[in-house]
């Protein structure tokens, strides 16, 4: 669900295809997503406020 929303919201010409979700026992989280267009790959990092 998050990947579909992120692909629609970013709209920079990169199609997201790889997603990793990380969680700690303290409730911190991070998401790493990778997208590609016809020439390049790009990574996006989303972090919780406390990470």
Q: What is the pTM of this model?
A: 0.61
- Is residue 2 assigned to a domain? no
Q: How much is the pLDDT for 46?
A: 83
Element (H, E) at 43: strand 41-47
Domain residues for the domain of 23 are 15-47
Query: Minimal CA–CA distance to 15: which of 39, 31, 48?
Result: 39
The number of helix segments (H) and strand segments (E) in the chain equals 1, 3
- Is residue 21 assigned to a domain? yes
Q: Is the pLDDT of residue 3 over 70?
A: no
| Total number of domains in the chain | 1
Contacts of 7 (CB under 8 A, 6+ apart): 15, 16, 35
Q: How much is the pLDDT for 1?
A: 43
Q: Per-residue pLDDT tens for 8-17?
A: 565 567 777 7
- Written as six digits, the tokens of 37 are 């267009």
Q: Which residue has the tokens 């579909």?
A: 4
Q: Per-residue pLDDT tens for 16-49?
A: 777 889 999 999 999 888 888 888 888 888 889 8
- Is residue 29 assigned to a domain? yes
Q: Is the pLDDT of residue 51 over 70?
A: no
- Is residue 4 assigned to a domain? no
């Amino acid at each position: 669900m998050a990947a579909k929303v992120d692909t629609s919201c970013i709209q920079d010409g990169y199609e997201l295809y790889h997603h990793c979700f990380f969680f700690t026992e303290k409730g911190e989280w991070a998401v790493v997503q990778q997208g590609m267009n016809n020439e390049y790959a790009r990574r996006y990092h989303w972090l919780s406020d406390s990470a």
